[in-house]
Structure 1
């Protein structure tokens, strides 16, 4: 019962606040386009605030999370990390499926912020677009984040990486920071009920550029799945 009430409170507070922030972003975008990244960061911090104080979800980071000219490859289990990455890095550029950027209102803010649209069916053309956008972002000193599985996967599942990672790794010639996360244990995809507990990010060993593509894939796949053996946190007693 407590979990259901927490989840309902989170949904009402977060989505109501999100609507206000999107409206603010749309109003500010024309006269002050540079305000959009600040508004997006405020939205991410608001999300973490709601997750912490309404859902009872804390965040823990294991390992060193370097800032700078790296390609960050992140496990994808929940909506949580999609939004929370803006709390981890300074104005990160995130590759997202094009359908999200075509959403009314929110999609406009996402494009102004600088999210990279990924057209899954475009093949080599999509990879060239992704490479150009990633290079532009790194020239601005912004982190580039990619979810290599292509979609959210349940905690414990380890699907193969999509081909886009290997292609981008070779083309960008940047060091890679693989990041595991276990958000799906507490906020599973498509579920209303969200549990209290600790969501962990685990930064893996930096993978240098220039490795054989297969070796790079093996290292990244192992590192982003490093938290899959962790048991479910018990719900905190109320």
Structure 2
């Protein structure tokens, strides 16, 4: 019963608060992108507060999270990490499915914020567009964060990475920081019920530039599944 009440309260307060932040972001978008980015960071912190005090979920980071020109690759198990990443970095540029940019209100904010649209079916042209967008965000001093599994994965499963990761690794020439997360244990995909517990980020060993693509992919795949 407590879990039901916690989940209901989270849904009511977080999503009503999200509407407020969306309207706030749109109201400031005409001034400068940095205003939207500030609102997005505040929204992420509000989400972290809701997770901690409404759901009873603590967040811990195992290992040192380096800051700098890296390509950050995340395990993807829940909506949680797509929002919480903004608590880990300063204005991170996150890869998001292209169709999400068509959502009314949210899509306009995503463009203003500087999310990176990912077209999963356009082949080489999509990879070139992704590279150009990533280079632009790197020039702004922003972290590049991607979910190479392509969609949320149930906790314990480890599907292969999408082919675009290896291509982007070669094109960008950036070392990779792989990060595992076990958010699906307490906030599983598509489930209303969210349980109290601890969500862990586990920072893996940095994958250096210049490795064979298959070796780089194998290292990243193993590291982001370290909490399975």
Q: Per the shorter chain, which TM-score range? A: over 0.9
2:132 aligned counterpart, secondary structure: helix
What corresponds to 2:168 in structure 1? 168
**Cα offset, 1:99, TM superposition:** 1.2
- 4+ long deviations beyond 4 Å: none
What corresponds to 2:39 in structure 1? 39
**Distance in 2 separating the partners of 1:160 and 1:188:** 20
Cα RMSD (Å) of the superposition? 0.7
2:211 aligned counterpart, secondary structure: coil
**Distance in 1 separating the partners of 2:223 and 2:170:** 19
**Distance in 2 separating the partners of 1:33 and 1:218:** 37
Length-normalised TM-score, structure 2: 0.99
What corresponds to 1:139 in structure 2? 139
2:61 aligned counterpart, secondary structure: strand
**Cα offset, 1:156, TM superposition:** 0.2
What corresponds to 1:4 in structure 2? 4
What corresponds to 2:65 in structure 1? 65
Mapping of residues 26-175 of structure 1, within 5 Å: 26-175=26-175
Length-normalised TM-score, structure 1: 0.95
**Cα offset, 1:27, TM superposition:** 1.1
**Distance in 2 separating the partners of 1:174 and 1:225:** 21
**Distance in 2 separating the partners of 1:110 and 1:157:** 29
What corresponds to 2:226 in structure 1? 226
2:216 aligned counterpart, secondary structure: helix
Gaps of 5+ in 2: none
**Distance in 1 separating the partners of 2:124 and 2:77:** 26
**Distance in 2 separating the partners of 1:199 and 1:99:** 28
What corresponds to 2:17 in structure 1? 17
What corresponds to 2:185 in structure 1? 185
**Cα offset, 1:219, TM superposition:** 0.2
1:34 aligned counterpart, secondary structure: helix
What corresponds to 2:195 in structure 1? 195
What corresponds to 1:236 in structure 2? none
